[in-house]
């Protein structure tokens, strides 16, 4: 039986060795480097940037309504007439050039430009929100890999200790100093530990795949998490910061601004327009004399005023007003949900920090208890099952501490994301920040001519003003939260159970974990 147990341990150890060799290449990676790599290469983030650049073109297209439009047309016509057996053929050419310059649009173009600007700003906030989401996922994956590597190490050490414990119990049973029950308990705990080892291997593999999905490369040897101090000093500060910086809330406000511009555009459809038009045309004088042409030139100023539209204009105004009501209420809904999310994130972080203190005390106490039970067992003051239980309690406390340390660090990043202050520079000094304004400045004035300037001024003077935003309701009171807890010190390496046993003067030597 002992030989079978040893063979099973060697098999599981070989699996662990192969996994660790794949998990820990020679190169070390910091969180700063991983954030910088994901920021530059994450495909979802690249797609969001492309969407913002596409939205920039909507401004150019809207502003083009102020500009001069020139079009040319040319044609060739072939004639063939048969009469009384006679046939006549002719080919004639014609061409024309037309120029149209809006002089006054009643505010239509101005409203479209305002709408495009608001939509672009909303798109930038959506990009910022996606950037924060990527950074939160990167931190969670990075911290998760380190956590699961630590849990795997704990599982390896547990198997090694229980394996040696089973051998000692087997030797005692052979001389009948313990019972068959003691031997069965040791075997059961070793099998349980081996199952937990396999689960730890599976969890680490899953976490590594999540790291690959969000970062774009497999994790190397990950360095400890860096300090992260840029947190709000109080819950009220977190609320204030979130209401002025959260990208989801700002995006909703810009969407409401765009729908207000659509109200102005709908109203402008009932306003007059003035357009200047010039045309030059050459056409044949007679179909069968292609060398004779008529040249004509014309210039006109056209005034147009809608008088009756069968209710279409009024309906469009009512529709746009209700759409703005929807967007305005959506802003308030987002604000309420944001307040709730910030409060929950704050409480979660405070709770985790309190748990860290108690878990650290629990681990220290379990270390002492484990050593004490082992020593007392040699004097027949404790039984075999009490040693097994003490080790299980120590392992559980170490695992809970590792999970809580990871969760607390990730909760800081999540709180920064909710308050809208999570920027790449907070986590990495190696990031070259993508500036969406750069592309907008590059394309903003493409196609502009000097004729646009007086039209823009005239359209602004004579158009209907855009409605001012109606004030959104504010919460009369905010949720009360826990007092700010001090930032935990960077976690120290957890004491190995093998190192704990070495402190026991009566302990026999243990085989090193592989």
DSSP string, 385-402: HHHHHHHHHHHHHHHHHH
Q: Is the pLDDT of residue 220 over 70?
A: yes
Q: Of residues 484 and 348, which shows the higher confidence score?
A: 348
- Report the pLDDT value the prediction gives residue 16, as an integer from 0 to 100: 43
Query: Binning pLDDT at 50, 70 and 90, where does residue 289 land?
Result: low
* Tens-place pLDDT, residues 76-110: 877 777 777 777 677 778 899 999 999 999 999 99
- Report the pLDDT value the prediction gives residue 277, as an integer from 0 to 100: 95
Q: Is the pLDDT of residue 11 over 50?
A: no
* Tens-place pLDDT, residues 145-186: 999 999 999 999 999 999 999 999 899 889 988 899 999 999
- Report the pLDDT value the prediction gives residue 154, as an integer from 0 to 100: 95
Percentage, residues of the chain above pLDDT 90 = 70
- Report the pLDDT value the prediction gives residue 135, as an integer from 0 to 100: 97
Element holding 63 (H helix, E strand): helix 43-63
- Report the pLDDT value the prediction gives residue 81, as an integer from 0 to 100: 74
With beta carbons less than 8 A apart as the criterion, state whether 122 and 436 touch.
Answer: no
End-to-end CA distance of the chain: 22
Q: Of residues 293 and 372, which shows the higher confidence score?
A: 372
What's CA 294's distance to the chain center, in Å? 65
Pick from 231, 147, 165: nearest CA to 406? 147
Q: Is 192 in a helix, a strand, or coil?
A: helix
From residue 353, alpha-carbon distances to 137, 253, 346, 481 in Å are 21, 35, 11, 14
CATH code of domain 2-64+108-223+230-268+320-436+451-488: 1.20.1600.10
Of the listed ranges 43-52, 234-243, 452-461, the one predicted with least confidence: 452-461
What mean pLDDT do residues 63-84 have? 85
- Report the pLDDT value the prediction gives residue 489, as an integer from 0 to 100: 72
Domain layout of the chain by residue ranges: 2-64+108-223+230-268+320-436+451-488
Q: CA–CA separation, 111 vs 65, rounded Å?
A: 11
């Amino acid at each position: 039986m002992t030989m079978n147990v040893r063979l099973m341990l060697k098999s599981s150890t070989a699996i662990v060795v192969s996994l660790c060799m794949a998990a820990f290449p020679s190169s070390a990676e910091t969180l700063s480097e991983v954030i910088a790599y994901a920021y530059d290469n994450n495909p979802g983030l690249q797609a969001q940037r492309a969407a913002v650049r596409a939205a920039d073109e909507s401004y150019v297209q809207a502003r083009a309504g102020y500009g001069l439009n020139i079009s040319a047309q040319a044609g060739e016509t072939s004639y063939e007439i048969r009469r009384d057996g006679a046939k006549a053929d002719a080919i004639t050419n014609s061409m024309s050039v037309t120029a149209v310059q809006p002089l006054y649009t009643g505010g239509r173009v101005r409203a479209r430009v305002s709408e495009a600007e608001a939509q672009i700003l909303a798109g930038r906030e959506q990009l910022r929100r996606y950037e924060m989401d990527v950074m939160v996922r990167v931190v969670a994956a990075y911290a998760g890999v380190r956590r699961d590597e630590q849990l795997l190490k704990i599982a390896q050490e547990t198997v090694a200790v229980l394996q040696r414990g089973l051998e000692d119990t087997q030797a005692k049973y052979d001389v009948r100093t313990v019972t068959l029950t003691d031997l069965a308990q040791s075997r059961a705990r070793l099998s349980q530990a081996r199952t937990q080892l396999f689960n730890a291997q599976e969890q680490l593999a899953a976490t590594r795949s999540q790291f690959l999905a969000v970062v774009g490369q497999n994790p190397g040897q990950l360095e400890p998490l860096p300090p992260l101090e840029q947190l709000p000093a109080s819950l009220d500060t977190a609320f204030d910061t979130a209401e002025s910086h959260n990208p989801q809330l700002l995006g909703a406000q810009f969407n409401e601004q765009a729908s207000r511009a659509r109200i102005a555009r709908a109203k402008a459809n009932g306003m007059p327009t003035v357009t200047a038009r010039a045309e030059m045309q050459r056409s044949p004088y007679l179909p069968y004399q292609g060398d004779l042409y008529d040249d004509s030139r014309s210039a006109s100023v056209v005034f147009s005023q809608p008088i009756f539209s069968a209710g279409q204009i009024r309906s469009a105004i009512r529709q746009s007003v209700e759409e703005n009501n929807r967007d305005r209420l959506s802003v308030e809904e987002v604000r309420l949900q944001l307040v709730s999310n910030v409060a929950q994130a704050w409480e979660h972080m405070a709770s985790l920090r309190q748990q860290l203190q108690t878990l650290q005390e629990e681990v220290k106490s379990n270390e002492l208890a484990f050593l004490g039970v082992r020593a007392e067992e040699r004097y027949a003051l404790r039984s075999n099952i009490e040693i097994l239980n003490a080790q299980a309690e120590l392992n559980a406390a170490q695992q809970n501490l590792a999970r809580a340390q990871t969760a607390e660090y990730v909760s800081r990043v999540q709180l920064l994301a909710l308050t809208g202050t999570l920027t790449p520079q907070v986590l990495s000094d190696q990031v070259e920040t993508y500036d969406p304004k750069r592309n907008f400045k590059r394309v903003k004035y493409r196609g502009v001519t000097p004729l646009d300037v007086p039209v823009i001024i005239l359209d602004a003077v004579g158009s209907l003003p855009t409605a001012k935003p109606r004030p959104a309701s504010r919460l009369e009171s905010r949720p009360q939260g826990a007092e700010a807890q001090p930032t935990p010190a960077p976690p120290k390496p957890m004491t190995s159970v093998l190192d704990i046993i070495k402190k026991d003067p009566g302990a026999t030597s243990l085989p090193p974990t592989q």
